[in-house]
Every structure is written in structure tokens, then in C-alpha cells.
Amino acid sequence: MELNLQGRVALVTGSGSGIGRDTVFKLAEEGCKIVVSDINAGSAHETAEDLRKAGHEAIAVACDVTSEDEVAHLVAQAQQQLGGIDILVNNAGIVKDGYLTKMTEQSWDSVVDIILKGAFLCSRAVLPQMMEKKWGRVINISSRSLFGNPGQTNYSAGKAGLVGFTRALAQEQGRFGVTVNAVAPGFIMTPGMRNLPHFPKLQEAATAKVPVGFLGEPRDISNAVAFLASDVARYISGTTLFVTGGRYSG
Ligand SMILES: NC(=O)c1ccc[n+]([C@@H]2O[C@H](COP(=O)([O-])OP(=O)(O)OC[C@H]3O[C@@H](n4cnc5c(N)ncnc54)[C@H](O)[C@@H]3O)[C@@H](O)[C@H]2O)c1
């Protein structure tokens, strides 16, 4: 299938590591110019450098997605250096797990803000360019946890909220040639996860719950993102693509 993403400019938030890092590589392999962005400036620059070493065009801009000023700076840099953004992947996300009765306000606010306020600020900053070009893609990285995981009321609420955000924004943007979709990953083995001391146990417990019998890799998510970013997916908007090996709630 020809995705025809040649020459598009893609911004992926939180792309200094994990799923975001693989997504920028996948989109670059499909011909996109890349804006790597992360709150961690070092990892953003390293990822952009690795992309350039692999022969791709990429810039790095450090940005905390919860800061309106930093998001404005990020989008201005992308405009100046690469000529504007065609594809936005709202990928930045964190967990701060704990049962609700013991959850601090800071744990609630930080998790929900990065997921929801981050998607709001980044989308609001890039959409005017997309609307003007009459072409754009917004892809929000939600999670299977939107069905509700114990110990993750903050994260589950944020990721479920992101699906509502996706559906509402898709309806606002359709007439401008902009599609808005979500991808909901299941358990994905990122390098960070593989390095956890209890990873073998975690892997065994998680695998038992996945119908296909194995855990996902970052490339399973970045393939879905690239598909939704392409013209092949032009009639898909407002949907959530579950990439979970067949696992839904439970
Ligand atoms: N790995 C999984 O199994 C899994 C499953 C479902 C959903 N997800 C979602 O996928 C996305 C990527 O997760 P990952 O597993 O690659 O995690 P990760 O921790 O490897 O990557 C997240 C990146 O976001 C960055 N980040 C954190 N706060 C930020 C902020 N305020 N502004 C900008 N960047 C910030 C981090 O520095 C990090 O580089 C997240 O939204 C996560 O919720 C992951």
C-alpha cells in the first residue's frame, strides 16, 4: 500500500523515547520531514541527530506540551525551519499510578494535563496552518486503559477524555480537509519498559491477557499512525483504532 507521505511535515510530541521515537522513524521512512519534540531536550536532540544520521530531514525543539508559550515556540520553529506542520501526533503522556483515595492533586493534575491540555494546546496551535492548506492530520495517542484500570483513575480519565476530544474535533475539522483520529495501544514493549527490573514478571502477566498471545512493539503503533496520517485513510475521522492484540477491557 502506497502511503504517499513524501514531503509532509510531521510533529510528534514526546518523541525523544519509546513509541514517539519509533513513530518519527516510521514517518521519516515514509518520506516525512520530522519535528522531534520532548520535554527532555537531550533525548529530543539525540533522536533528531539519529534521524539525520539515517538520512532523514529532522529538527529538534524541546517543549513541555502543557505550556502555552513553549507550544507557541515549537510551532513557530517548525514553521520557520520546515514550513509548517501537516501531521500532528499528540503522543506525550506519563503515568503517576495510585489508588484514588491516596492520589495527590499533583498526580491527578500532571497526568490529566499532559494528556488533555497538551493535546488541546498543540492542536490549537497547528490547526490554523492545516485549515489554510486544506489538508491535515491530528492523531492522538490514547490507551486501552480508557476502559479503566485500577490505580489509574487519572490516566484512564485522561485517555478516555482524549477519545471525546478526538470525536468533537473531528466534527469541527472535517470541512477543512483535516482528519482527527486516536490510536489506543495495549501493552507495548518500549525500551524503557524492557529495562524495568520486574519486566519478565510484567511480561508474563500481561501476555496472559492478550488474545494474540504476544505483546506489541512500538512499530505496531507507528504503523497505525502512518496509516491514519496517509491519504489512504482520508475517509476515516473521529475514530479510535485499538492496537491491543485483541484485548479490550479487563
Ligand atoms: N507503552 C505502552 O504500553 C503504552 C500503552 C498505551 C498507551 N501508551 C501511550 O503512548 C504514549 C507514549 O508512551 P511510551 O510508552 O512511549 O512512554 P515514554 O515514557 O517512553 O515516552 C513518553 C515521552 O513523553 C515525554 N514527555 C513527558 N511529559 C512531557 C511533557 N509535559 N511535554 C512533552 N513531552 C513529555 C517524555 O519525556 C517521554 O520521552 C503515551 O501517551 C502513553 O500514554 C503507551
Condensed to tens digits (0 to 9), the pLDDT of residues 15-54 reads 999 999 999 999 999 999 999 999 999 999 999 999 999 9
- Residue 92 Cα, ligand 1 centroid: separation in angstroms? 5
List residues near ligand 1 (CB under 6 A).
Answer: 13-14, 16-20, 38-40, 43, 63-66, 91-94, 114, 141, 143, 185, 187-188, 190, 192
Instruction: Answer yes or no: is 144 within a domain.
Output: yes
- Residue 57 Cα, ligand 1 centroid: separation in angstroms? 23
Catalytic site includes residue 155: yes
Instruction: Answer yes or no: is 134 within a domain.
Output: yes
Instruction: Answer yes or no: is 207 within a domain.
Output: no
Instruction: Answer yes or no: is 60 within a domain.
Output: yes
Instruction: Answer yes or no: is 212 within a domain.
Output: no
- Ligand 1: residue whose CA is nearest its atom 2: 188
**What is the percent of the chain with per-residue pLDDT over 90, rounded to a whole number?**
97
Q: Which pTM was predicted?
A: 0.98
β-partners of residue 138 are: 88, 180
Number of domains within the chain: 1
106: left (phi over 0), alpha (psi -120 to 50) or beta: alpha
Instruction: Answer yes or no: is 39 within a domain.
Output: yes
For 11, 73, 119, 177, the CA distances from 171, given in Å and listed in that order, are 22, 28, 16, 11
- Ligand 1: residue whose CA is nearest its atom 43: 93
Please state, in angstroms and rounded to a whole number, the distance separating the CA atoms of residues 169 and 178: 10
Question: Which domain range does residue 38 map to?
Answer: 9-186+220-241
- Residue 161 Cα, ligand 1 centroid: separation in angstroms? 16
> Is 90 within 8 Å of 118 (Cβ atoms)?
yes
Measure CA 88 to chain center: 8
pLDDT in tens, 168-210: 999 999 999 999 999 999 999 999 889 988 999 999 999 999 9
Instruction: Answer yes or no: is 211 within a domain.
Output: no
Instruction: Answer yes or no: is 160 within a domain.
Output: yes
Please state, in angstroms and rounded to a whole number, the distance separating the CA atoms of residues 16 and 60: 9
Which CATH number covers residue 67? Answer: 3.40.50.720
